[in-house]
Structure 1
Amino acid sequence: MTRRDGVATPAEEEDESHLNPFLLHVNKKPSSSKLQFRKEISKVQWHEKLGLGEVVEKKGSIWTSTGIVRDGKLYCHIEEILFLAERGGLMLLDSDDAILNIKEIYMKIAEGRHKCSWESFEAYRHLKLLGYIVGRHCVPWTNKANTSCCNSDSFNCTSDEDVGFVEAEEKMPIIHQFKNMQIHDIIPTFDVYLPNSKFRKSSPGKPNFLLCLLRDKPPSRTELENLEKRCLGIPLKFCFVDHGRVSFFSYDRVVLPSLP
């Protein structure tokens, strides 16, 4: 079928829905049929004190847009570890080089000690299955990377050298901006970029949107507009997770979940 009078064909609409979670029906799950990680298994060693995994054996091209680089070493967060482990593309080792099974990795998420809740992992997994590039909000990809919303006169994130590997929330100016506006439960969780085969961690550019997890009703449009201005105009989008059902919505195209 060809496109006529500016109207998308069913095939085009299906493709757009696959790439855009904000056009997806709330019950529709992304397909993982394109994932080809099982033949390339990376090895990662968990550092409990850091709350990060160090990649000791890197396989495949997935690391182009996964993990953070510090002092020449590649580390990954727990959500990245679990996502790849679920697909058979990653083997996690403890400090004694013993292999951790998938249930033990799930437990690390359940413990909630590594700044990743089960809800945030569900959101991360959903976006990754759609092909998006996803990083933790305001955490630079590399020591030298310019972070989107954190490099302006009004947003000077604490440098990586000052906070080490732990994201000290109290030192992140953008979070202060949210608190100053009394929207304590609405804090960006992920910086999200469109699929891009030329993505570079050293120069990622601005994310396409910031994803916020919701546990209550969304803020007003006026509040959001003020916040977006302070985020250099980067759109804020929202995610609600309820019993494994992931719902995305934004004010330009609202797909509201059924809140309890």
Structure 2
Amino acid sequence: MKTILLHIDGDTCMDARLEVAMDIARRCDGHITCLQAVSYEVFAPGDFYGSAMAAAMPRIKEAAEELRRTIETDLSNEGVSWEWRFLYGMAESRLLEQSALHDIVVVGPHDVGEEGSRGPSALAGALALKAPVPVLVVPGDSKGFDLDKPVLVAWNGSSESAVALRRAVPLLERTGTVYIASVVEDDGRERLDFPASEAAKYCDRHGLRAEIVEIPRGEAKISDTIFSAATARDCSMVVMGGYGHSRLAEMLLGGVTRRALTDPQMPIFLAH
């Protein structure tokens, strides 16, 4: 991962994803592109003449400049290669545009202004579906990113999980052990498009030490079961195929990806 696109925003998870981005850059001898997107598209009911927007613009710009100064000061002392890109527009659109010449996008788990909500990040979900590169979602309590630690790959035999594994190889090459973890359903239902044994063979061909793990379904949510298994094995992140079912079905009925993004307990590497 030589080119890392980092979403810059003044949320409480900013410090955590900055640390993670720097750890990846150091370990991979990579470069961080700090992307700060600011939109003045403020919707104010009844503000027909734009007076509320005009009043808000100076404060929005001042806050953006203050955040930039703070982060640039931090980066100047870290010995990593980086640059700053300030663009007007919605963050999702600008991140999608800029991701074309990057290897990974690093974002937080919450949308702007929605910290503390119980829903998944629409930004992270959109990037996972549309971006040509994987997305790393970093929760606010992450304390750096140790690439030497094991990684758990959430495996359900789908093409999405296969794509996620393949795209994670540049990071997995630096880990100790890769756990190919499948949650076994009580009724025996299981997708066998790509058995876990095939995933282990793929890892072996790339020189990765892989171990197949089967986890009983139990009473907990599958996402919580996956996070618990990863925590028990001291993993640095969970690799997951994003939105294996249709996005509409995931939004209406829930899904492992949606629930994992709602309450991520460690960094999640997403690819679709």
TM-score (norm 1): 0.26
Larger fraction in helix:
2
Greater RCO, 1 or 2 (C-alpha within 8 Å, sep 6+): 2
TM-score (norm 2): 0.25
